[in-house]
Amino acid sequence: MEPLYVIKIGGNIVDNPVLLTECLQAFATIQGQAILVHGGGKLATSMAQKMGIEQTMIEGRRVTDIETLKIVTMVYAGNINKNIVAQLQSNGVNAIGLTGADGNLIQAHKRVNNAIDYGFVGDVDQVNEVLIQSLLSNGMKLVIAPITHDGNGQLLNTNADTIAQSIAVAMAAQYQVHLIYGFEKEGVLLDVNNPSSIIAKIDQPSYAKLKEDKIIFEGMVPKIDNAYLALVGGVQSVIIGRAEKMNELINGTAGTTIKI
């Protein structure tokens, strides 16, 4: 089967023009099929503050009320997505920017949580792999914003790590899928203050111990949880590492490899 690289870049990359440019230049050199899923960064928060819309974060996750949903849709699906597409075009990549609503790409449902009301936050139900296959086969590279829809006209804010994992699993029957979580650090670190303390490989027993010892915590936990969902779902490999080192991550010479 043909390889497909599903690459997610986080908000800290999106927020830094230099890192984003380096990352997109690296993405442009990927041979073959590739999909880029991007996070939101701080622009939505700063815009909300300017407009006097209070923001609530619970364990790093944004509570999305109806006014916040308008802002994240404008910022994620508009400003960030189209700037990434334009930069990729300037690097010779024929990219197309999409949300989950476009072509019914990703349907989701509003999260149900009896303890916390996250507002208009979506959990993925299905991915339109036929559309993805069609676009890829026509030589397009996809740039996907973390906005989905529920099939009844409601947009939803959805975690970009989860979107990347869901797309990777959906395409695993047709491609050898490699999922890469690109962020601002070299990989999963034993010591967050020491960039050279990269953990080269993490399997499930070592992951449990690293969580217990609070070496892996907060935002890294859902990322690795998504990595395991991807591997169980048929994805060939999952690597977490520095976004600008795309080629090294692809050939396995950088970052942290997640193993079953």
For 54-96, the pLDDT digits (tens) are 888 876 678 899 999 999 999 999 999 999 999 999 999 999 9
pLDDT in tens, 5-14: 999 999 899 9
Lowest mean pLDDT among 17-26, 76-85, 218-227: 218-227
- How many other C-beta atoms lie within 10 A of the C-beta of residue 219? 14
| Domains observed in the chain | 3-258 (3.40.1160.10)
Give yes or no for a contact between 136 and 4, defined as CB atoms under 8 angstroms apart: yes
Q: Is the pLDDT of residue 257 over 70?
A: yes
- What SS3 string covers 45-77? HHHHHHCCCCCEEECCEEEECHHHHHHHHHHHH
How confident is the model at residue 60, as a pLDDT?
A: 65
Residue ranges of E strands in the chain? 3-9, 33-38, 56-58, 61-63, 95-98, 106-110, 122-127, 141-144, 147-149, 155-157, 176-183, 201-202, 237-242, 256-258
pLDDT in tens, 136-195: 999 999 999 999 999 999 999 999 999 999 999 999 999 999 999 999 999 999 998 999
CA distances from 82 to 7, 8, 94, 103, 160 (A): 17, 16, 13, 17, 16
pLDDT in tens, 86-136: 999 999 999 999 999 999 999 999 999 878 899 999 999 999 999 999 999
